[in-house]
Amino acid sequence: MQVLNIGSLNIDVVYRVPHIVRNGETLASRSVSKHAGGKGLNQSIALARAGVKTAHAGAIGQDGVFLKELLKKEGVDCSEIAVISDEPTGCAIIQVADDGENSIILLRGTNFCVTPAIVRKALEKMPENSIVLLQNEISALKECIEIASAMNMRIFFNPSPMDESIGDLPLELIDTFLVNENESRELNALAGRRIANCNVLTTFGADGAEYCGRDGDVIRIAAVKVDNVVDTTGAGDTFTGYFIASLVHGRTPEDAMKTAAAASAVAVSRPGAAEAIPYMNELTTVR
């Protein structure tokens, strides 16, 4: 089984700061560095490092060609990543504080040049029973959901960053939502009964995660304790990629959550987003 991730590709500009800048404050950073990022790219790397055949569709500018090269090196099929010559690649200005917490400002850039035509072409190339993975950082999401659903594909949706546009999407066609605690509240407020037949996986950071299956099953797992949190950026993306990868490998949702929690624990103990994501053979705490 393969996964098609129709997702964002960002250039992350990361400032290391003592604390997240406060309202009205001017703060000197300890360093600044440029990295590959974007929830889409991070999740594709997590899927690939977890051993799943992954294709990524999306859009970059000329300045983002290195993102495509990086994904290719990870073994991700990048044939449906469009290069748009007159737009900047999506960009994230990230503050990472000494306690590992982060805050992010996004420039959508070419992530919002994703068209229904790009989406349809990418989906039509996928074998039957492929999984489609989406986040809320690209344009043409409605078409992604409608076309993938018409092709009977299972759609996993991480509606992050959450905003009101989510309420306009055909959410009842989603198989599984992957959200954090705040997003879960907002999703319920926006979607209400429309998602009653969907699976919802909610992560609670250091308090673990909960899976509510459409059949009424509720599974709760504890987080893996991390003594030295260095950078939480991309931890949720690591969880998402490893959870889906484990399901693809035939694991139960409970096993998949445990593997995902172990992978996220490794990711937060390292700096960066994409580069912090572990390979499957680095996870010693799971079978």
**Binding region for ligand RIB (CB under 6 A) out of 35-43, 59-67, 179-187, 224-232:** 35-43
For residue 104, state whether it binds ligand RIB (rule: CB under 6 A).
yes
If one asks whether residue 264 binds ligand RIB (CB under 6 A), the answer comes out as: no
- Positions 205 through 224 that interact with ligand RIB (CB under 6 A): none
Q: SS3 helix, strand, coil % of the chain, rounded to 5?
A: 40, 25, 35
Q: What residues have CB less than 8 Å from 193, skipping those under 6 apart? A: none
Tell me which stretch binds ligand RIB (CB under 6 A): 61-69, 147-155, 175-183, 231-239: 231-239
Closest approach of ligand RIB to the CB of residue 106, in Å: 6
Q: How far is the CB of 9 from ligand RIB (least distance, A)?
A: 9
Question: Bridge partners of 274?
Answer: none
Beta bridge partners of 181: none
Q: How many residues touch ligand RIB (CB under 6 A)?
A: 15
From 24-32, 33-41, 173-181, 243-251, give the range in contact with ligand RIB by CB under 6 A: 33-41
Nearest alpha-carbon partner for 157 in 183, 176, 140, 129: 176
Q: Which is nearer to ligand RIB, 81 or 273 (CB)?
A: 273
| Cβ closest to ligand RIB, residue 153 vs residue 268 | 268
Q: Give me the DSSP letters along 8-37.
A: --EEEEEEEESSPPPTT-----SEEEEEEE
**Residue from the set 209, 273, 276, 277 that interacts with ligand RIB by CB under 6 A:** 273
Cβ-contact 210, 218 below 8 angstroms:
yes
Locate all alpha helices (DSSP H) within 208-283, ordered by sequence.
235-248, 253-268
What does DSSP say about strands 3-6 and 131-135: parallel, antiparallel, or unpaired? parallel
For residue 234, state whether it binds ligand RIB (rule: CB under 6 A): yes
- Cα separation of 33 and 58, whole Å? 24
Q: Does 38 bind ligand RIB (CB under 6 A)?
A: yes
List of residues contacting ligand RIB (CB under 6 A)? 8, 10, 12, 37-39, 42, 92, 104, 137, 233-234, 236-237, 273
